[in-house]
Amino acid sequence: MTVHHLLTKKPGIPDYVSYIRETDMDGIGPDGKPVRGYNAAGAGSPPKITSHDPSKAPHQMRLTKEEQDILDGKQGAVKAKLMKTVVRHGNLFGAEKLVDLGGNPHSSTFLGSPALKPIIDLLTDCADAGLKAYAPYTINPRPFDLYGVQTDREQELMIFESLPLQTELDHVHARLGARGMDIRSCMCYLPEVGNCPEPGTMVAWGESSAINAGNSIFGLRTNRNSMGMELLCALLGKAPYFGLMTDEGRMAKWLIEVKTSGEPDWGVLGGAIGEKCIEDVPYVTGIDKYFDGKITPQNLHKLKAMGSATASSGAVGLYHVENLTPDAVQHGRKLLAEGYQTYVIDDKEIDRVRSNYPNYWPKGQQPTGINIGCPHNTFHELVYWGTRITNELKKRGLKKVALPTQMFQSRVVSDHFMMEHPEMYATLFAAGVRFSNTCTVCFGGFDGYAENHFNVANSNKARKYTTARYLSDDDMIEVLMTGKIPE
């Protein structure tokens, strides 16, 4: 029985369903069981199949009566369209059902550029239909900060011309149930920001770095949801159950043996893992010794730097660290899937990966700015950088840093730092360091900005998405003091 037939013949289904393009399904065959197709796998694990047989019916998940009613338009056209998108997405990955979501959503839909009008229109349609997220949600940083760091005319013009739809986007977020702007951050799981659900909670987060931190560090269960899809799931309160939400999808296809002579560069390590594993789940050994036995607020940033780079250089949505991350502590090497591959990362490999990072700055170009915090800084990173910068200034008899320096973190995190370390905050501010709640990547992405701004960053993710050069912490300090990258 075709779905078109089902849709057009069922009593009580509104007319507009017939012009929702492509069909949907009951998800239940004539025998009352889910219609099964091939066993596609999900993101984060390799597909179970590598070919497609067009003679077989495509996979269709089983829906509850209420879900089917939504799909059939009984709760309105917009919600039907929304359900159709989510179901069709899940079917591609062999999802057998939708699951109810818990905790709070996190959205990576943060940029009000003209190019993203289609996604803003989509959200506006949902808000106009009266839809709201199942729980208040957090959002990535706003893409500019006119009061903190981008205060000159040139940059104001770039912002107003690049992001004319920002207010429209912020408005629709408020209508759909977003939390306030003071907590905007890609690091939604920090205690100051307050979006860190209990381990095991099913969520459908956006933001690649938050996704793999949530899955890996906090034991959440989320797939890698795109900008837009994370909110469609939030508005439904449901997500397709596949991939990294399942036990099977969380098995590691790679054993990563880190054998560096000392603490590795976390960003390059993550970049190496991402390039090698692409979307597969890695099980990382040899690094737990750098964490004093457990993940703490003081060492969380190491995993942030590694994890975010695995997701920007690859598509890693979950990693396990032996003796450290919750799944690995619970299951150990039983998480290694049959036939797993091994990748050894030593000093030589770190050097090889780093040496492949291109530099498109003009020859002899020295930096013009310094960005610290991609993903956003934690409170303890602010203390770390604040201590290093103020000590180094004192040691060298300097009053100011050499170049405009931006620290990026949520407003509530910099407030925390200011409250606990007011003198250090004041010293840094007087030295020219600024604190902003915007985004490093956005900072470097505006039209015209890259032509005459050459920033250095302590983030491999920022390197990936901007023209920033990625430096070690020690080299960052040298640039902070001298304005020049050490030879």
Partner 1 sequence: MAKKTFQGRPVVPGDLNGKATVSKQPFNTTASYMENVWAGNTKNAPCTDQDNKDLFRKDLEGVILCTSQCIGSSMGGGCFMAVAGLDLAPKAMLFSRHIDSVTASGVLMADIWQDKSIICVDLLGEEFLEAVKNGDAISIKKDGTVEVS
Site for partner 1 in 56-85 (CB under 8 A): 81, 84-85
Total residues at the site for partner 1 (CB under 8 A)? 73
Member of 215, 246, 313, 436 binding partner 1 (CB under 8 A): 313
Q: Give the nearer residue to partner 1 in terms of CB position, either 43 or 251.
A: 43
Torsion angle, alpha carbons of 407, 457, 264, 331, to 10: 60
Residues 6+ apart with CB under 8 A from 180: none
Q: Using CB under 8 A as the criterion, what x/- string covers residues 100-129 for binding partner 1?
A: --------xx-x-xxxxxxx-xx--x----
Decide: 460 and 270 in contact? Cβ < 8 Å: yes
Q: Give the nearer residue to partner 1 in terms of CB position, either 211 or 217.
A: 211
138 touching partner 1, by CB under 8 A = no
Decide: 309 and 222 in contact? Cβ < 8 Å: no
Member of 165, 311, 393, 413 binding partner 1 (CB under 8 A): 311
Least distance between partner 1 and beta carbon 21 (Å): 7
CA distances from 271 to 67, 305, 330, 375, 378 (A): 40, 10, 26, 14, 21
Decide: 278 and 192 in contact? Cβ < 8 Å: no
Least distance between partner 1 and beta carbon 250 (Å): 15
Q: Give the nearer residue to partner 1 in terms of CB position, either 127 or 433.
A: 127
Task: Measure the N-to-C terminal CA separation of the chain; round to a whole number of Å.
Answer: 70
CA–CA separation, 373 and 378 (whole Å): 8
162 touching partner 1, by CB under 8 A = yes
- The region of 166-174, 221-229, 406-414, 418-426 touching partner 1 under the rule CB under 8 A is 221-229
93 touching partner 1, by CB under 8 A = yes
Q: Give the nearer residue to partner 1 in terms of CB position, either 340 or 465.
A: 465
Least distance between partner 1 and beta carbon 319 (Å): 15
Q: Give the nearer residue to partner 1 in terms of CB position, either 42 or 386.
A: 42
Least distance between partner 1 and beta carbon 353 (Å): 11
CA–CA separation, 110 and 112 (whole Å): 7
Least distance between partner 1 and beta carbon 300 (Å): 20
- Which residues, 6 to 65, sit near partner 1 by CB under 8 A? 21-22, 40-43, 46-47, 49-54
136 touching partner 1, by CB under 8 A = no
Q: Give the nearer residue to partner 1 in terms of CB position, either 119 or 287.
A: 119
Residues 6+ apart with CB under 8 A from 13: 7, 72, 73, 74
206 touching partner 1, by CB under 8 A = yes
Q: Using CB under 8 A as the criterion, what x/- string covers residues 352-381 for binding partner 1?
A: ----xxx-x---------------------
- The region of 87-95, 260-268, 389-397, 406-414 touching partner 1 under the rule CB under 8 A is 87-95
Least distance between partner 1 and beta carbon 380 (Å): 25
142 touching partner 1, by CB under 8 A = no
Least distance between partner 1 and beta carbon 386 (Å): 28
Least distance between partner 1 and beta carbon 461 (Å): 8
Member of 197, 228, 264, 367 binding partner 1 (CB under 8 A): 228
Member of 465, 472, 475, 485 binding partner 1 (CB under 8 A): 465
88 touching partner 1, by CB under 8 A = yes
